Structure 1
Amino acid sequence: MTLNSIGLETKKTQEIANDLNILLANFQIYYQNLRGIHWNIKGKRFFDLHVKFEELYTDANLKVDEIAERILTLGTTPLHTFEDYTKNAKVPVGKNISQDEKAVRLIVDSLTELLKIERNILDASDEANDEGTNSMMSDFITEQEKTVWMMKAWLDESI
């Protein structure tokens, strides 16, 4: 077994970095979706949702950077082209969404996909004793579960 300079098994960290690149690609699509609905939202809830979507895309932008830096920490290169993002994305792409319920539904559907990816990474990072990635995924999951709950409450749906 070969260990890298941060004391983790090289083969396992390579696999985790690959999974983090998938998460990065999906976060980039999620981020762009949030920008789009922020720009295009219309209707009586415009003021509230415009601000909320900005809050969400600002947070997503920070997470994109955290993910990329973790990939670098694990010794690999983060994906950084739109071609790579679209090729690896499972998050739905929202185009020309201006209606409030469709916008919030896009967020819920996107976060549901991100949570699946993050839980897989959490399992792998736990097995690899990769506390840095594990902690990041735990924090992301906790925050995103709360956002899903709040968005579903706004939609008047149960979790």
Structure 2
Amino acid sequence: MDNMNSIGLHEGSASQLAEKLNHLLANYQIFYMNVRGYHWNVKGNDFFELHAKFEEFYTDLLTKVDEVAERILTLGHKPVHAYSDYVKLSRIQEDKDVHDGKTCVQGVLAGYQTLIELQRELLALASDADDEGTAAQASDYIREQEKTVWMLNAYLGK
């Protein structure tokens, strides 16, 4: 098993996957903080509904942050853990001083759309590397988040 890691993947593939997963991790962390901010700062007629929904979202995002970091470790690599790295690696930008409910929901929608795009890229890479573990994780996340995108669009009247 030359050039294979401890779970039987080629080290080159595992390295590429870990790099892609670190980009995903950065996006999850920035998105998590955005949603946490929406939860804290939302105002308006839908406050009670959105405050509770944003808590549901950020709790799930935090779980996924941990799962993505653990997958990187499983591949034999290190997850990035500094916010300065997250800001550099993330496609999702920090969203500051947002309090209008509709704008918050649009931010959540855009964040999930970005995560789905990244996870599809990861899914393709994992499939090419015969990495069923990463592929299954990405696939599960995509399935869940596509439904969330549909619901957020429905909420926004789209």
- If the length of structure 2 is used for normalisation, what is the TM-score? 0.97
8 A contact 2:6–2:76 mirrored in 1: no
- Alpha carbon RMSD of aligned pairs, Å? 0.8
Is 2:9 aligned against 1:8?
Answer: yes
- Per-residue CA distance 1:66-113 (angstroms, 9 max, x = gap): 000000000010000011000001013211111011000001111111
Distance 1:55 1:108 in 2: 14
Distance 1:148 1:96 in 2: 23
The equivalent residue for 1:59 is 60
Equivalent position amino acid for 1:65 in 2: D
Residues 116-135 of structure 1 correspond to what in structure 2 (within 5 A)? 116-135=117-136
Distance 1:86 1:120 in 2: 20
Once the two structures are overlaid, the 10-residue window that deviates more, 89-98 or 56-65, is 89-98
Distance 2:61 2:140 in 1: 13
The equivalent residue for 1:40 is 41
Gap regions ≥5 residues in structure 1? none
Gap regions ≥5 residues in structure 2? none
8 A contact 1:33–1:94 mirrored in 2: yes
8 A contact 2:87–2:93 mirrored in 1: no
Equivalent position amino acid for 1:125 in 2: A
8 A contact 1:20–1:71 mirrored in 2: yes
Give the secondary structure class of the aligned counterpart of 2:62.
helix
8 A contact 1:92–1:109 mirrored in 2: no
8 A contact 1:92–1:106 mirrored in 2: no
Distance 1:148 1:94 in 2: 19
Equivalent position amino acid for 2:46 in 1: R
8 A contact 1:125–1:133 mirrored in 2: yes
The equivalent residue for 2:141 is 140
Give the secondary structure class of the aligned counterpart of 1:6.
coil
- If the length of structure 1 is used for normalisation, what is the TM-score? 0.97
8 A contact 1:27–1:64 mirrored in 2: yes
CA offset at residue 32 of structure 1? 0.1
| Paired residue total | 157
Equivalent position amino acid for 1:140 in 2: Y
Equivalent position amino acid for 1:46 in 2: F
Distance 1:93 1:113 in 2: 13
Equivalent position amino acid for 1:71 in 2: I
Once the two structures are overlaid, the 10-residue window that deviates more, 112-121 or 31-40, is 112-121
